[in-house]
Structure 1
């Protein structure tokens, strides 16, 4: 399960409302007068079709958006081709959503429409009246919002799962911006150097590395780092037990900076190579900067996802059966291993480990936050499907490092998201049948 960004799905709709658009408003060059040709099919998209009236209406809206921004309208043939392609991609996504069982229920839809009304500083009745005054059909507007929600959920499920962020990428981002991230933070470090002689031979290098690795293993096993430094370090600080004193992020040698910013108090770094030899760093203390004491929740869950062969209702009912079995005495972990479709956690009996705020989708976090340890949740839904969850324990935790890593992870995901979306849409487009029939709209060639 991954964190997703919500409530951005209706930005485009709000933009249209802010322009005061209506189906009867004509944009320059696209006059929807009674002289328009009779409605006809302009594109076949798999088992669906796009009508000329739909294409003209969308062209009107987009043209007015461009003009409101002060932009110049492209050539009519180009606009027709681009709008037709956009409509076709929307149809393909809606078809894919239906195929895998994504459906937006009326409660979710009502909440979204009410949110749009609030963002326009209107009550729902006032919002409906404004739409009617602009010539917009409220029922059609609701279905447009449903389509937007459906596509947004499809993209979360299909695109988010394709975005991979490695721990190395997170480390690199944090290290490259450590001065800004750790502004005001100070570190007290201890250091051990296993020196290399001038013109060291391969055997010298191998021997020094082995000694450094052995010292690291001793330190991790509980040996006193100060004593190790006094006994084995060649550093100028050896007599102080390797103590480098308090240093700000900018004062830490570049060689160690990327390691220190990622360490917890008491952590021992990896063995680090430099021209002078092999180094070990221990973070003895840390002070200053922002602290983030958070409540972490350790929970487990069972996920059932609707699909082409399993309807949304059937997925929910399957979980209801599992919930009753657990209440009757069956083991949660055993059922999670056998039935949960979150395969990563299923292998651990559904255990998600300790969860920090913001790590998972809001619907999941809000539900488990209301549970006491050992209490089984009701069956509930998120963008990933239907869940059954149980809280195992709570703990208070210094989440400063996790908060930093989560922020870095989201920055990287955001950078990758657009590329992944474009690749997925192109793959969906290339694997689908689309036939354009645009002669009734323009003499331009079909896309």
Structure 2
């Protein structure tokens, strides 16, 4: 008897119940499909169909014919079953802590606390535990899909550059501006003297903003003030779009005239325009404890090497000889320019606190013991890199769905599926 037959026998046995009251076997459910080493039951299809019909009714839409809906649901369950078996075979699990965090995010998206979310489900007749398990299944499916599909997606530098040069790419990756806006209204039939008075008032408001006044505090005596929020240049009113790109953060414009009056804008914040980050260039020597050198001996060697460097020996030469970081040892321990968050926290903290030229005391991380020498620091404009990253994300999202569809068809064709009548 092979594995599939054994599994099916166990499933069939679980579907029957012997009772004292009745001698015959009572079927509680029936198998509608065999999927590799698992089965799909009619009750699973019925439950999913009922849920979908409720959602369709709640949205005020027309449900498709019952036969068509059941077929689509069965196809969906078959694909899910294949993927969940894949997750099980590689030992993929969602632990309770990860699940609790995910359920908490769902509650927050619905503007509820976790207890409120749980009570809302109970009040609606749903089972909180069943919802939790559904979220667990969705997380497993997502991880299986991402793990298999992401490796199929390749995005070249040329594709990124072509996207950035396109009209859509320029619009989506263009800088964003957050503007405070003040308006001194002027009636359409106002006299020249009234317009001049409004202009002078707008200039006074601009000067007060430059002196540090908050724009909201100036909203009095008919003055209108508001925060326009984050907007792309293409989403700004044309009057402001001609001015904002030339402003720096905190800068206040001269009064801008329109049919409705005089406008004053202040660039509260910008992003994607001149994004700079602090970068550090450093070298390090990594020493790892091993079976022949315990942790204390490893630290002692790090202390010794640090003293040798302080006494004048070359950090580069010692790194080439002793460092166990394969990626940097042959470069004399050179890590190049690194950005905040790129390195493990213990290393980052020690490097940030070191002066240029200083050799740190041994620092322990999950990788072993490090001695670090900071060579230089700089403020680096990363606007170009951010635009490229945004473009790559857009292209990835586009390719992901196509590759996911191809992969799902592939695993469906390779699986053993027997649909029962």
Distance 1:146 1:389 in 2: 39
Distance 1:434 1:103 in 2: 25
After TM superposition, the structure 1 = structure 2 runs for residues 223-238 of structure 1, keeping only pairs within 5 Å, are none
Per the TM alignment, residue 168 of structure 1 is displaced from its structure 2 partner at its CA by: 0.4
- TM-score, normalised to structure 1, is 0.48
Which of 375, 381, 386 lines up with 1:403 in the alignment? Answer: 386
1:418 — aligned with what? 401
Distance 2:61 2:387 in 1: 40
How has the CA–CA distance of structure 1 residues 368 and 96 changed in structure 2, closer, same or farther, with 3 Å as cutoff? Answer: farther
Q: Which has the higher contact order (CA 8 A, sep 6+)?
A: 1
2:150 — aligned with what? 160
Per the TM alignment, residue 59 of structure 1 is displaced from its structure 2 partner at its CA by: 0.4
| 8 A Cα contact 1:93 1:154, kept in partner | yes
Per-residue CA distance 1:153-210 (angstroms, 9 max, x = gap): 22222212221110000111112237645689xxxxxxxxxxxxxxxxxxxxxxxxxx
What is the SS of the residue equivalent to 1:43?
A: strand
| 8 A Cα contact 1:293 1:396, kept in partner | yes
How has the CA–CA distance of structure 1 residues 156 and 334 changed in structure 2, closer, same or farther, with 3 Å as cutoff? Answer: farther
2:276 — aligned with what? 293
Per the TM alignment, residue 100 of structure 1 is displaced from its structure 2 partner at its CA by: 2.3
How has the CA–CA distance of structure 1 residues 406 and 366 changed in structure 2, closer, same or farther, with 3 Å as cutoff? Answer: farther
Unaligned 5+ residue runs, structure 2?
A: 1-26, 177-270, 302-318, 352-361
| 8 A Cα contact 1:372 1:391, kept in partner | no
How has the CA–CA distance of structure 1 residues 116 and 182 changed in structure 2, closer, same or farther, with 3 Å as cutoff? Answer: closer
How has the CA–CA distance of structure 1 residues 90 and 132 changed in structure 2, closer, same or farther, with 3 Å as cutoff? Answer: same
How has the CA–CA distance of structure 1 residues 49 and 377 changed in structure 2, closer, same or farther, with 3 Å as cutoff? Answer: farther
1:54 aligns with 2:44: yes
Distance 2:276 2:295 in 1: 34
Task: Point out the structure with max Rg over C-alpha.
Answer: 2
Per the TM alignment, residue 74 of structure 1 is displaced from its structure 2 partner at its CA by: 1.9
2:132 — aligned with what? 142
1:119 aligns with 2:102: no
How many matched pairs?
261
What is the SS of the residue equivalent to 2:379?
A: strand
1:30 — aligned with what? none
CA-based RMSD of the aligned residues comes to 4.5
Per-residue CA distance 1:388-437 (angstroms, 9 max, x = gap): 99997775311011011111111111111110111111111111111112
Unaligned 5+ residue runs, structure 1?
A: 1-36, 185-287, 301-318, 338-343, 380-387, 440-447
- TM-score, normalised to structure 2, is 0.51
| 8 A Cα contact 1:368 1:391, kept in partner | no
